[in-house]
C-alpha cells in the first residue's frame, strides 16, 4: 500500500537536503541492487531504487548524520515535527521498528491491521459522524479532543527513510494513532503534555525518538519539570509498562465503544487534567500579583 500523506514532500526534502549534501559519498563499484543489504554503503550514482513510493534509500553514514542533526535541532526546537519524524525513522532500525512490527504480528488484531493497512485521515474517519456519537464513546472523545486542541489528523509526515516497506507502514500507523493516545489519556498538545505522552509511548513502544523527547524537559519551566517528575513521569512509566501494546488497537473498529471500557481493557488510567492544573496555576499567579500590587499601593498611602 502506498505509504504517503498529504504533507508536501518538498518540506521534508528542504529540511534534510543540507545533511545529505554534506554526506555525498565517493563513487564505489556498482553491485547487484536486487541483493542489497539495508545498511550497505553506496554512492549517489549507485543508489538503489526506492522500495515504496516516497522512500529515500540512505547509507548507514547518511542515516547517522540525519539522526544526529535532526535530533539536536529538534531538541532545541521541539515544534519541528519534520525533524522529529526524521529522527524517529533514522533511529528505529535495526531493532526497534522490527520489535514493534513483531508485536503486531503476535496479535490477531495487529496482524489484521498489517493486512488491511488502514490510514487515519479526516476522510477515512468521517469526522462529522464522530461528532454525532454519544459523549462516552471513543469516537466522540477523539473528535472532542481534536476540536479542543485545534488538531487535524491530516498533518502526519510520510515515512521516507525506513527501508523495509512493512516496517514503514508500522511507523506510519504509529504516527497516525498518536492523536488517539492523546484523546485516550486527555493530555493536551502543549509541550508539557507532549513530553508526558512521549514518556508513555517510550515505555510502551521503546521507540528511541519517544525517549529522546523526554530530554526536552531541560527547556521547560521549573514548575513544569517538577510536575513531570512528581505526577506525569511516574504515571507515564507505570501505565506505559503495564498497558497492552497500544499499536494493536484497531481504532477504526472501536469508535463506538465506551472509552472507559477501552481504557480498562488496555490498562490505561487517565492522569490528572493537565490543562486544569495549568489554569489553576495561572489564576494563582494572577491572585498573588493582585495581592502584591495592592500591598504596594497600600504602602504608599
Binding-site residue numbers for Zn(2+) are: 178-179, 182, 194
Binding site listing: 178-179, 182, 194
Beta bridge partners of 258: 137
17 CB neighbour count, 10 Å cutoff: 10
85 CB neighbour count, 10 Å cutoff: 24
Which residue is listed with cell 499567579? 285
Termini Cα distance of the chain: 76
178 CB neighbour count, 10 Å cutoff: 19
CB 89 within 8 A of CB 71: no
Any idea what the Cα angle at residue 255 is, between residues 252 and 259, rounded to 5°?
Answer: 130
Q: How far apart are CA 3 and CA 160, in angstroms?
A: 9
| Residues 6 or more apart in contact with residue 215 via CB below 8 angstroms | 75
Residue 2 in 3-state DSSP?
coil
Q: How far apart are CA 95 and CA 245, in angstroms?
A: 17
State the cell numbers at 9: 514532500
Amino acid at each position: 500500500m502506498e505509504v504517503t500523506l498529504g504533507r508536501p514532500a518538498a518540506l521534508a526534502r528542504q529540511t534534510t537536503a543540507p545533511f545529505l549534501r554534506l554526506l555525498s559519498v565517493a563513487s564505489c563499484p556498482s553491485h547487484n541492487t536486487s541483493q542489497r543489504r539495508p545498511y550497505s554503503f553506496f554512492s549517489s550514482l549507485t543508489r538503489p531504487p526506492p522500495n515504496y513510493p516516497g522512500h529515500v534509500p540512505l547509507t548507514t553514514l547518511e542515516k547517522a548524520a540525519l539522526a544526529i542533526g535532526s535530533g539536536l535541532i529538534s531538541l532545541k526546537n521541539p515544534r519541528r515535527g519534520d525533524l522529529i519524524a526524521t529522527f524517529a525513522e533514522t533511529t528505529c532500525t535495526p531493532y526497534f521498528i522490527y520489535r514493534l512490527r513483531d508485536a503486531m504480528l503476535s496479535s490477531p488484531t495487529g496482524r489484521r491491521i498489517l493486512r488491511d493497512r488502514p490510514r487515519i485521515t479526516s476522510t477515512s474517519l468521517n469526522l462529522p459522524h464522530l461528532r454525532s456519537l454519544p459523549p462516552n464513546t471513543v469516537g466522540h472523545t477523539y473528535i472532542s479532543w481534536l476540536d479542543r486542541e485545534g488538531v487535524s489528523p491530516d498533518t502526519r509526515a510520510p515515512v521516507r527513510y525506513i527501508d523495509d516497506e512493512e516496517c514503514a507502514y508500522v511507523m506510519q500507523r504509529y504516527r497516525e494513532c498518536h492523536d488517539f493516545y492523546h484523546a485516550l489519556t486527555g493530555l493536551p498538545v502543549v509541550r508539557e503534555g507532549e513530553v508526558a505522552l512521549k514518556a508513555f509511548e517510550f515505555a510502551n513502544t521503546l521507540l528511541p525518538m519517544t525517549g529522546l523527547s523526554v530530554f526536552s524537559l531541560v527547556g521547560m519551566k521549573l514548575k513544569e519539570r517538577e510536575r513531570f517528575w512528581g505526577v506525569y513521569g511516574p504515571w507515564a512509566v507505570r501505565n506505559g509498562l503495564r498497558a497492552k501494546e497500544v499499536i494493536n488497537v484497531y481504532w477504526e473498529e472501536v469508535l463506538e465503544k465506551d472509552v472507559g471500557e477501552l481504557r480498562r481493557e488496555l490498562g490505561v488510567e487517565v492522569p490528572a487534567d493537565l490543562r486544569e492544573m495549568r489554569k489553576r496555576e495561572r489564576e494563582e499567579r494572577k491572585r498573588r500579583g493582585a495581592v502584591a500590587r495592592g500591598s504596594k499601593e497600600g504602602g504608599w498611602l
